[in-house]
Structure 1
Amino acid sequence: MDPPRRRDVNKSSTYKSWMKLYICDITASLVSLSPSFDSESTYSFNGHPIRWISIVGTVTSIDEHEKKILFSIDDGSGQCINAVARKDSMTSKDMPRLHSTVKARGELELYHDAWQLKLTSLELDAPLETQIKFWTEANENHARLAKTDARKRSKHTV
């Protein structure tokens, strides 16, 4: 399959929005999540270009380094993802706590053959209403992307 053309990618609604995804969709789809453009963090998920990711989950580990903080997020889907942020961009009240529920947004990057989320924003102690709304929208995204992908495949089958 040919890589998507730049003008087609720029028109896509998935390219221009925060995509709410399950962590298992990200980690299990390493084959379908492939770089579309070398200079950007743009990936293809079920044939849809995705640039920005939003996830909700529980902080399961925290590892502080000299210049960055790395923490693992578990969303209950069976997989975890590491999120990384520069330490100088966070204040003490912005720091995640172990076992707290967070809403994280950022760009995906492949680091030592594992996906990690380069943080753009982090909401601590996400209330239950926010989590429920997130999961509802993630379910809708998941169904919409799967349905569109199935339609594309059916057009190309003989």
Structure 2
Amino acid sequence: MTSAEPLVYYPAYCFHLSPTINKWCPLRAIDIQGLECRPGFEADNVFFSLNHPIRWVRIVGVVVAIDEYHGRRIYTVDDSTGECIECSLDVPKPAHGARQNIGNGNAAVARPAEDAPHSDIDVGMVIDVKGSTKLFRDQKQINIQKLQRVRSTNQEVQFWNKIRDFRRDVLGQPWALERREVRRCKKQYLADVDADERKRKKKKENGYTLDSNVLGRQISTKSRNSGASSKPAKEEPLTKTEDKYSYTEGQYDALGL
């Protein structure tokens, strides 16, 4: 593929063949902020560099700010690339009355509890963050999965080398698949969807059958107990079983394709 040719964005059922989708992608903050959002992938927090799908990222930088919120902590990380990135960490919610609100009532001035995760991380420290990408108020953000302190310049240099190699060997050229690979992935995807559909129908049919049997026994019992009474037994509506096994169309394609 030459640079003049348009990029090919492959369907989600091809993503398992991607060299980036299930990898901690070493990136710079400016790279993460520049990732492209494409329609249909917002719910899965998948972004694109060229046509490479990216969900998991890794970044190393200096903590320049820490903001405490109810149930989460935000580390603002600066890696000297001209952009900062916010990294969000879920933390235990403080006890009632243990914090005071400021400004619009979101941020808290109380210090985090000593046993809260990563409470030892402070402004000025260099950290290594791994997490999933997400969009928050139109800005890229990292949802932290792993966090550790970087204690030497040598570790930073090693990470810079990983970024360089990753950009050169992976992100430097578009992701390309043979047509036969795409056809094979589509065939497997359709087979999986068909199998799920058959399973759904089977569950739904079994639900109706079960309700019919239960209803028949209820009517029979009621008839014996009431003798010649012609009043019908109160029927259990079948809609309960139908709702239990109802599925919205397109549920089996989690990425909306």
Shorter-chain TM band: 0.7 to 0.9
Structure having the larger proportion of residues in helix: 2
Deviations 1:110-136 (A, max 9, x none): 100111100001002342222111110
- Structure 1 residue runs of 4 or more that deviate by more than 6 Å after TM superposition: none
Q: Please state how far the C-alpha of 1:21 moved relative to its aligned partner.
A: 0.4
Supply the distance in 1 between the matched residues of 2:169 and 2:37 (Cα, whole angstroms): 17
Q: Which runs of 5+ in 2 are unaligned?
A: 1-6, 94-112, 177-257
Structure 2 match to 1:46? 50
Q: Please state how far the C-alpha of 1:73 moved relative to its aligned partner.
A: 0.2
Secondary structure, in 3 states, of the residue corresponding to 1:94? Answer: coil
**Counterparts in 2 of 1:137 and 1:33: CA distance versus 1, 3 Å:** farther
Deviations 1:63-112 (A, max 9, x none): 11121111100001110000111112994471320010000010111100
TM-score by length of 2: 0.53
Supply the distance in 2 between the matched residues of 1:144 and 1:134 (Cα, whole angstroms): 15
CA contact (8 A) 1:59 1:74 kept: yes
Q: Which runs of 5+ in 1 are unaligned?
A: 153-158
Structure 2 match to 1:59? 63
Secondary structure, in 3 states, of the residue corresponding to 2:145? Answer: strand
User: Identity of aligned pairs, percent?
Assistant: 22
Secondary structure, in 3 states, of the residue corresponding to 1:97? Answer: coil
Q: Please state how far the C-alpha of 1:145 moved relative to its aligned partner.
A: 3.6
RMSD: 2.4
Bigger CA radius of gyration = 2
Tell me the matched-pair count.
149
Structure having the larger proportion of residues in strand: 1
Q: Please state how far the C-alpha of 1:146 moved relative to its aligned partner.
A: 4.4
1:87 aligns with 2:91: yes
TM-score by length of 1: 0.83
